[in-house]
A and B are shown apart, each in its own frame.
Chain A
Amino acid sequence: MALGLEAQLGDSVFTTRLDEAINWGRQYSLWPMVFGTACCAIEFMSTAASQHDISRYGAEVVRFSPRQADLILVCGTISYKQAPILKRIYEQMPEPKWVISMGACASSGGMYENYCTVQGIDTIIPVDVYISGCPPRPEAVLDALMKIQEQIKGETLLKDRHKDFRGILD
Chain B
Amino acid sequence: MQEDLMDIICCPLDKSDLELEVTQRDDEGEVIEGRLVCSECGEEYPVEEGIPNLLPPDMREESPA
Query: Does B associate with A?
Result: no
Residues of A within 8 A of B (CB): none
Residues of B within 8 A of A (CB): none
